[in-house]
Structure 1
Amino acid sequence: MIETRAKVGLAFLVVFLLGFAAGALSWSAYSRRREAMPQAVWTGKFNRERYVQELTEAVRLQPAQMGALNAALDETREEFLALRKRLQPQFEEVRQRARQRIRGVLNAEQQPRFEAFVKRWDEERRVQEQAASPPPASERKP
């Protein structure tokens, strides 16, 4: 009788350990596959180096074509910057209206903290925008 209980207990333990191992392997495979997937959501930042590398591989760009590609990307960058500059006042109006709405929700004690928060947030955004606008390829160091 004791032998049968021991065998059942051992069989239960083995099945449990096998299930745990299968779950761990499945989770590991899922995690690796998830990391390898391209990012489905645009983050708002254009990674030019990655774009050029992947485009070069995808269409097999020749070295002689790189100058024309960089010129096209530089022209497009300038168009986006001009568009951003034209639309910036409209974005700023929306931002200021949102802040006014938020100020209406806050009490007197929270107001100065909100102003400090906004100041810090604006500075971070300004730094990020400067970093996101590198010089054109023609002005970059080789």
Structure 2
Amino acid sequence: MIETRTKVGLAFLVVFLLGFAAGALSWSAYYRRGEAMRQAIWIGKFNRERYVRELTEAVRLQSEQMGALNGALDETREEFLALRRRLQPQFEEVRQRARRRIRGVLNADQQPRFEAFIKRWDEARRAEEAAAQR
């Protein structure tokens, strides 16, 4: 039979390990959520619903002001989309230059994998842009 001291020691160790695991899982969840928020800000995604909710709370918007607010946000969205369409060729030019530089670094075995990567990356970017325009 196991001694009482050993049982207490094992119980202490198990509780410590469970606490450590819970802390690690909590930190991971917190970090992922924060990272997703930072990434959304970095890539310029606009959460309209959150913006309207927080603005409504911050300035105490009245229900009759919501129509004008939505109109202003719709107009602004259209302006951003027009700006994006106008600047898109310049962004594409920079993107293609970067890809040429990267191709210059890669060896012959890496080239086809890079082309496949670029194809997947571009498809995902186009899908994101299409979703953003809806």
Tell me whether the two structures share a fold, i.e. TM-score over 0.5: yes
Query: 1:59 corresponds to which residue?
Result: 59
Selected match of 1:12 from 2, 6, 9 = 9
Where is the helix percentage greater, Structure 1 or Structure 2?
2
Q: Greater CA radius of gyration, 1 or 2?
A: 1
Farther-moved stretch of structure 1 (86-95 vs 30-39): 30-39
Distance 1:34 1:93, change over 3 A: closer
* CA deviation map 1:99-129 (0-9, x unaligned): 1112223344544554444344323322211
Aligned to 2:48: 48
Normalising by structure 2, we get a TM-score of 0.71
Quote the offset at 1:68 in angstroms: 0.9
Q: How does 1:32-43 map to 2 (within 5 A)?
A: 39-41=37-39, 42=41, 43=43
What is the CA–CA distance in structure 2 between the aligned matches of 1:80 and 1:34, rounded to whole Å?
31
Structure 2 equivalent of residue 139 of structure 1: none
SS in 2 for 1:39: helix
TM-score by length of 1: 0.68
Counterpart CA distance in 2 for 1:35 and 1:123 is 24
Unaligned runs of 5+ in 2: none
| Structure 2 letter corresponding to 1:12 | G
How many aligned residue pairs are there?
131
Q: 1:16 to 1:116 in 2, by over 3 A?
A: closer
Could you tell me how far apart the structure 2 residues matched to 1:24 and 1:102 are? 41
The structural deviation recorded for 1:12 is 1.6
RMSD between aligned residues: 3.2
Identity %: 61
Residue 140 of structure 1 is matched in structure 2 by none
